[in-house]
Chain A
Amino acid sequence: MKSIQIFDPALCCSSGVCGVDVDQQLVTFAANVEWAKQQGIAVERVNLAQQPLAFAQNAVVKGFLERSGAESLPLILIDGEFALAGRYPTRDELARWAGVTAVLAAQAAGGCCSGGRCC
């Protein structure tokens, strides 16, 4: 299975509740990561404020920070290679990257798709 690494900006909480306005993207993504783990997907989040060394020791991430700055995070790597930056992946994308067949339709309880996108 492919391993997915998410390099977060400097966050106090990865669920994003630490702000005047709670960031919907972070809330949704925290839930998606929980879901992915339950599916057995290898997802790892690295927080700039807590593990900066992990950023410095990875040439891809370090180069990205130098070129684009911390403002352009998050950065997502799949098996160590650049996959996505500037936004968080959807539940769908996580599943596709990991090669897990997502059963999205079965998950929709209240007429709303999971993954933070409403039908």
Chain B
Amino acid sequence: MRFLDQPPRFLFFTGKGGVGKTSLACATAIRLAGLGRRVLLVSTDPASNVAQVFEQPIGNALTPIAAVPNLSALEIDPEAAAQAYRDRIVGPVRGVLPDDVVRGIEEQLSGACTTEIAAFDEFTGLLTDTRLTDGFDHVIFDTAPTGHTIRLLQLPGAWSGFLENNTEGASCLGPLSGLETQREQYAAAVSALADPARTRLVLVARAQASTLREVARTHAELAAIGLTRQFLVINGVLPEAEGATDDALAVAVLRREAAALVELPEALRELPTDHVPLMPFNLVGLPALAALLGSAAAQDDVPGAGASPAGRPALPKLASLVDDLAQDGHGLVMLMGKGGVGKTTLAAAIAVELAQRGFAVHLTTSDPAAHLAETLEGSLDNLTVSRIDPQAETERYRQHVLDTKGKDLDARGRAVLEEDLRSPCTEEIAVFQAFSRIIREAGRKFVVMDTAPTGHTLLLLDATGAYHREIARNMDKSGVQHFTTPMMQLQDPKQTKVILVTLAETTPVLEAANLQADLRRAGIEPWAWVINNSLAAAARTESKLLAQRATREWPQIAAVREQHAKRVALVPVQAAEPIGVARLLALAEGGTVAPAAAPSHP
């Protein structure tokens, strides 16, 4: 494995939820500890299963791992860190200031950036405080800070401004200003991250086009900041031998993975790359993890492998969800989920299904991969497709604000405004503003969007009243008097249906549940969940490996059904990239390689 070759002191594994960062981090830690190095493993995965992997409790303190000499571990729960931070700020005024004032403050501190920065704050000490880590040769993290967080910490003038003026200057450091850690320590942490002699970043992906595109974005973002020493691991690759049986599903998966790797984004081609094969067993316990990086003989089987899905509950196809959607005749459909779960594909499939039934549909996407939208344009009479380029929208918005609101400012005032416009919220707002123009069409036709604002953003916009002002002005221009505000439109289940997209794996399900909780705070109840890319929903397979993986999906599918979702649809893993009307329709109907043989939804 190239990423294990002469590893520096700090190793970070990054990638979207469910690609196997934690397993790889654990396996790496075991491997290095086995070579006699003293290793500290740090997990910040909210669904951390490190304790389960080593079969002992760990928690928020340095804990030696009994079964592995030389290895210690530490778990940081980012949500708990954020909650502790909120409590520190809000706790002293609860019951002192009026309740609604306290609620407003809490919402301000409930955004994703607070969580991320609170987690970063927790592990800053590990990067900079030698007393904590002196006893270790390697510190391995199963996550990495995003480009946004690092940029915030790097904003030129941010820290100097902070130190001189205390709270002014780059005010969009927002949650940072309340954290206890010394500013100098953040600067030291960032420089440790950007130093290739000390830090190696391992990008973890699956052999899927959308996941690889997402990883390419992460790569570019972090490289631009100075984290240039990056390695790529493609995890869970189906071994070619599985295709020997001529099993239709295995052959299709092999073909699709090969195609994704052939079309590997340009930016990733230069990176030292490893392929880790799909394993026939659960990655729990030491022998399994040791086998992941190929040092020991893999155990052959675990109980339940290849169990037939017969007798499993049938779940509806995407097309049956569309039947329900179609009853209203028009409305706004927004797909929401983490990057790489397939929101754009599913938005396209829903749009095509609706258009096929004769409804006027506007599909609008912010996915940088434009080919999907382009292939649909003009393919169906009543389907229009538009695309929003987040980068262009953000730039336009930034320029517009500087030209209008910033025009009377002196040079120094303009500099402050320019710095604040680099905040991460700017992009979300700029994109959502572009979408807002299209949302108004939903009174007459179907509008299907592949993104949605988070509940946190909506609440903040609503609280400031900025959203209402914007709409009031638009109403005056168009002369339409009966129009409601977008917030009211989004909260009304008759007008808006939010569909959460996830995968049948632990971390993606947990991430979707968090998004749902966030929307509920804003008074928006997600209408349905769609589990995408499911092997359990695909055709019966002779491949033991794939059957194994399918079996492992069922507990997650059950969790979505029983604990999270009002309505669920299951979309099987696709044999080919679902591009074009025919393939999208087949996807919605639950088809994959051999639809007739699919046993899971009779």
Contacts and interface: CB of A to CB of B under 8 A. Distances in A.
Given A24-B405, A35-B412, A56-B92, A48 B104 contact: yes
Contacts of B174: 12-13, 49-50
Of B104, B171, B409, B464, most buried by chain A (CB within 10 Å of CB) is B171
A46 B109 CA distance: 16
Most chain B beta-carbon neighbours within 10 Å: one of A18, A27, A50? A18
B101 interface: yes
A35 B102 CA distance: 32
Interface string B71-90: 00000000000000000011
A101 interface: no
Nearest to A12: B174
Interface in A1-40: 10-15, 17-24, 27-28, 30-35, 37-38
B171 A37 contact: no
Contact of A15 (B167, B410, B416): B416
A108 to B, nearest CB: 10
A46 B105 CA distance: 13
A112 interface: yes
Interface residues of A, number: 47
A36 B348 CA distance: 54
A27 B97 contact: no
A53 to B, nearest CB: 5
A31 B417 contact: yes
Contacts of A56: 92-93, 96-97
B168 interface: yes
B408 interface: yes
A45 B168 contact: yes
B177 interface: yes
A34 B172 CA distance: 16
Contacts of B96: 56, 62
A28 B89 CA distance: 28
A31 B413 contact: yes
Contacts of A47: 167, 171
B466 A23 contact: yes
Contacts of A112: 408
A19 B97 contact: no
B89 A50 contact: yes
Interface stretch (B307-315, B335-343, B374-382, B419-427): B419-427
Given A28-B408, A31-B413, A56-B96, A21 B171 contact: no
B466 A20 contact: yes
Nearest to A24: B405
Interface in A45-97: 45-53, 55-56, 62, 65-66, 69-70
Contact of B105 (A18, A20, A48, A62): A48
Interface in B433-481: 433, 436, 460-461, 463-464, 466-467, 469-470
A13 to B, nearest CB: 4
B406 interface: yes
A118 B90 contact: no
A10 B470 contact: no
B410 A10 contact: no
A118 B407 CA distance: 12
A25 B166 CA distance: 22
Contacts of B423: 12-13, 17-18
Contacts of B467: 19-21
Contact of B168 (A18, A22, A33, A116): A33
B63 interface: no
Contacts of B432: 20
B429 A65 contact: no
A31 B178 CA distance: 23
Contacts of A44: 167
B562 interface: no
B79 to A, nearest CB: 19
B130 interface: no
A52 B401 contact: no
A24 B421 CA distance: 14
Given A18-B425, A69-B100, A30 B413 contact: yes
A50 B97 CA distance: 14
Nearest to B400: A22
A86 B107 CA distance: 22
Interface in B303-360: none
Given A10-B104, A31-B413, A116-B408, A20 B97 contact: no
B91 to A, nearest CB: 9
B425 A12 contact: yes
B98 interface: yes
A52 B433 contact: no
Nearest to A53: B92
B133 interface: no
B563 interface: no
B566 to A, nearest CB: 29
Contacts of A65: 97-98, 101
A65 B100 CA distance: 10
B23 interface: no
Of A27, A51, A107, most buried by chain B (CB within 10 Å of CB) is A27
Nearest to B409: A31
Most chain B CB inside 10 Å of its own CB: which residue of A15, A27, A56: A15
A40 to B, nearest CB: 13
A45 B167 contact: yes
Contact of A34 (B109, B413, B425, B463): B413
A15 B409 CA distance: 12
A23 B104 CA distance: 19
B295 interface: no
Contact of A52 (B89, B165, B168): B89
B412 A34 contact: yes
Given A12-B172, A17-B420, A69-B98, A27 B405 contact: yes
Across the A-B interface, give the 3 residue pairs with the lowest CB-CB distance, nearest first.
Answer: A31-B413, A19-B466, A49-B108
5 contacts: A15-B420, A17-B420, A20-B429, A56-B93, A65-B98
Interface of A: 10-15, 17-24, 27-28, 30-35, 37-38, 44-53, 55-56, 62, 65-66, 69-70, 107, 109, 112, 114, 116, 118
Given A44-B167, A62-B97, 7 more contacts: A17-B425, A20-B466, A30-B413, A48-B105, A52-B90, A52-B93, A65-B98
